[in-house]
Amino acid sequence: MRAIVIERFGGPDCLVYKDLPEPEPAAGQVVIDIKAFGINHAELHMRRGERAEAAPVSGIECVGLVKSCPGGEFPVGAKVAALMGGLGRTINGSYAEYTRAPVENVALIESELPWAQLAAIPETYATAWTCLFRNLEIEAGQTLVIRGGTSSFGRAAINLAVNAGARVIATTRRRERFAALEELGAERAELETPHLSRSIAEAKRLDAVLDLVGNSTILDSLDLLRRGGRACLAGWLGGLDPIPDFNPLLQMASGVYLTFFGSFVFGTPGFPLSDVPLQAIAADVAAGRLRAKPSRVFAFDEIRAAHRVLESGEAGGKMVVVNA
C-alpha cells in the first residue's frame, strides 16, 4: 500500500511516499480501507518532532470502509470513522491507503455525504461535542465564549453550541474574520487578547468558556465566568508553553470550575467513542443544521501542500485529504 512516512523531523518536505505492507487484521482491531482523512495540528507537531510519540505514518483520524474485523464488532464493508487510539502516535496512522485501529476507537457513520465532508467530522466534532456537553454541560439559553473560534475545532464548537440553543460569543485574532464567525451562528465576535476579561461586557456573568488558545489565556478565561461557571481548556493555538509559576491559590478565580479535555483519551474506559453521537452529527450535517464542509480538499499526493497551508495559519477551517 502507499503511505506517507515521516522520513525525519522537520518541515513538510520530511513527508515522503513509500510502499508499505498492508496492516494485518488482529483481534480487537479493525482494518480500514481509508477513503479520506482530516489534517490536524497534532500531525504538524508530530512531523516537527515536538511530541514525544510519533509513528512513522502520521494521521490521527480517518473515514472509510471496514476491510476486516476479526472480532466481528463491525461488518465488512461498513462505513466507519476512526480516531485516536494511538493512531499516528504509537501505531501507524491514517496517512495511508489502509490503517488498523482499536475497536474502541472506531464508530459507524453511515451517511450519503461525500467522503470529503465525512472526513471533516470525526476529530473536530467528537472533541467539540465532548467539551461542550460533557465537560461544560452546556444547555439551551446559556452564554458561552469560544476562544479561537476560527480554528476547525472552534468552528465545529460554534456549530454544535448554536444548534443546541446556546448564545455564542467567539474570538479571533483578526477583525476581518468577524463576519465568518457570525455566519456560523455566533451572536458576535470579539478580538482575541490575553486580557479579554477586561474588555468584554459579559465578564463575570458568563456560563462557560471553551478555551482553544491555551495556557496563555486560561486564567483570564476563568475571570470571565460567573460563580459556578465552567471553563474547558482544550487547545493550544497560543503555543505549548506551560503557565509560568502557576499557583491556584493566588491566580485562580474563586467559585468557578476548570476542566480539561484532550481527545487522546477517546477509546479509554471513561471516554468510549460510542458516547459521541457521530451518526446523529452526520445526519445534522446532511440536513444542513451543522456545517462541516471542509475549507480545502487535497489529493493524497498533495500532503506537503496541505501541511504548508496548515503551517501558514491560512487553513480557514478543516482541511481534508481524499484518497483517489
Residue carrying the nine cell digits 450535517? 285
211-222 pLDDT tens trace: 999 999 999 999
10-63 pLDDT tens trace: 999 999 999 999 999 899 999 999 999 999 989 999 999 986 689 999 999 999
Residues in the chain: 324
The predicted model scores a pTM of 0.93
**DSSP annotation of 179:** H
163-211 pLDDT tens trace: 999 999 999 999 999 999 999 999 999 999 999 999 999 999 999 999 9
Q: How far apart are CA 30 and CA 231, in angstroms?
A: 36
**31 vs 57, 68, 214, CA distance in Å?**
15, 5, 35
Grade residue 244 by pLDDT with cuts at 50, 70 and 90: confident
127-175 pLDDT tens trace: 999 999 999 999 999 999 999 999 989 999 999 999 999 999 999 999 9
Among left, alpha and beta (phi > 0; psi -120 to 50; other), residue 193 is beta
Q: How far apart are CA 306 and CA 38, in angstroms?
A: 10
- pLDDT at residue 229 greater than cutoff 90: yes
Q: Are 149 and 158 in contact (CB under 8 A)?
A: yes
pLDDT of residue 73: 95
Write down the architecture of domain 2-120+279-322 according to CATH.
Alpha-Beta Complex (3.90)
Q: How far apart are CA 252 and CA 250, in angstroms?
A: 6
pLDDT of residue 52: 67
Class of domain 124-261: alpha beta
Contacts of 21 (CB under 8 A, 6+ apart): 1
| Residue 284 vs residue 317, higher pLDDT | 284
Partners of 189 in the β-ladder: 170
Q: Is residue 52 exposed (0-12), middle (13-18) or buried (19+ Cβ within 10 Å)?
A: exposed
Domain locations along the chain: 2-120+279-322, 124-261
268-278 pLDDT tens trace: 988 988 899 99
pLDDT of residue 170: 98
The dihedral sign for the CA sequence 213, 144, 234, 281: negative
Grade residue 300 by pLDDT with cuts at 50, 70 and 90: very high
